[in-house]
Amino acid sequence: MGRTIPSFRIALAMEKEDWKPFRNALDKSDRKKFDEMFELPKFYISACSNSVQYVRLHPTLMSILLYHYKQLRECISEVERIEVIVNSKKKWLTKEEGKEEKEEVHATLDTYFIKNNANL
């Protein structure tokens, strides 16, 4: 029996072909990025195939968005992890500076009282 809906791999190739005039209008560096972007849906072929969308661009765009969303979440997690490290070091440095200031204040007060008591 024949298929009425092409496999998603074929549909993806057809979609990429439809976007060829747009791709050709891009700079060479952007063309490479465009080609890389169109490779991303291949990571989600089974999900795209099972979504059975009438507009073949929809699962393509959703798979690209999902990939980039996951990348963004990883970047945010990494930034948050680095912030925790930086903030803990900042607190540690602040505590060390505070100790030095307290020691300096105690030394100054001791000197003050020694001088004042000597005069008594």
Q: Tell me if 90 is assigned to some domain.
A: yes
Q: Which residue range forms the structural domain that includes residue 97? A: 8-119
Q: Tell me if 65 is assigned to some domain.
A: yes
* Mean pLDDT value across residues 37-63: 85
Q: Tell me if 43 is assigned to some domain.
A: yes
pTM, entire model: 0.61
CA-CA distance, 6 to 54, in Å (whole number)? 11
Torsion of CA 10, 11, 13, 19, to 10 degrees: 170
Q: Tell me if 41 is assigned to some domain.
A: yes
| 59 in Cβ contact with 8 (< 8 Å) | yes
> pLDDT grade, residue 74 (50/70/90)?
very high
**How confident is the prediction for the chain on average, in pLDDT?**
80
> pLDDT grade, residue 46 (50/70/90)?
confident
What is the count of structural domains for the chain? Answer: 1
Q: Which stretch of 39-48, 61-70, 71-80, 90-99 has the lowest confidence by average pLDDT? A: 90-99
Q: Tell me if 3 is assigned to some domain.
A: no
**At a CB cut-off of 8 Å and minimum separation 6, what does 91 contact?**
none
